Structure 1
Amino acid sequence: MAASIDKILKSIRKNHFLKFGLPMLILIVGGSFGLKEFRQLRYEIIDRRQAVDPEALDRLKIKEKQRKLSLEEEFQKIEEDDIDCWYNIRGPRPWEDSKEFQDAQRKNMAIRAQSKTN
C-alpha cells in the first residue's frame, strides 16, 4: 500500500498538469460555484428587506390611478414655461465665501435687469 502511494506521489511530482493545472482548474470551477451561492444568498436577503405593506401599496396604486396625466396637459405646462429666458449662475468655489458670492451675483443680476429695461 505504501509503495503504491509513493508511486502516485512521484508521478504527481513529475507531471506538471497534476501539480499545477488540476488545482487551478479545481479553484476556478469551485470558486464559480461558491460565488453563485453567495450571490444567490445576497439577493434573497435584499428581497426580504424590501417587503412592502400591502395596504400601503394599495393606497399608492389608488393615488396613481386618480392622477393620470395626458400628453396634452404636459405639453401645455411646457409651453407656459419660458425655457428660452434663463441665466447660468456659477456656484461658489470651495475657497470662496458663499454668502458674499451670492450677494455679488444678485447685484450683477439686478444691474443687468436694469440695463435691459432702460
Structure 2
Amino acid sequence: MFGNKSFMGKRERLAYEQSFVGKYQKLVRKNSFLFFGLPMMLSIALGSVLLTNFTSLRYERRDEKVQEMSEDEALNMINNRRKVDIKDEYYKLQGLLDEHEDWQPKRVERLPGESDNKW
C-alpha cells in the first residue's frame, strides 16, 4: 500500500505541481479521455494513415515488376515450348544426365541361397 507512493515534502510538491508533468497529471485526473484517450486514439489513426503510404509504395514497386503479356507473346510461348521426355526429366532431377547418359537401373545379383524379395 505504501510502496506505490513516494513521500514529497511541501516544496517538492509545489515544484512538482508547477512542472509540465504535474500540470498534465492534474488535467488527466480531471478529464482523462480528453487529455489522454483522445490524443492516444488520434496518434494511432495518424500513424495508420502515414504507414499506408509506405506500404502502398512497397506494393506499387512490386507491381511494376509484373507486366501484362500481350496476346502475341502468349501465343509464342505456347508454340515454342520444348517437348518433355519423362526419362530425361528423371535423369535431370537425379543429376545423372550429364555424367552417365547410358545409365540404367539394374538389379543387384543375389548370393546363392539369398531371398530375391519379389512380391
The TM-score range, normalised by the shorter chain, is 0.3 to 0.5
Greater C-alpha radius of gyration: 2
In the superposition, the TM-score normalised over structure 1's length comes to 0.38
In the superposition, the TM-score normalised over structure 2's length comes to 0.37
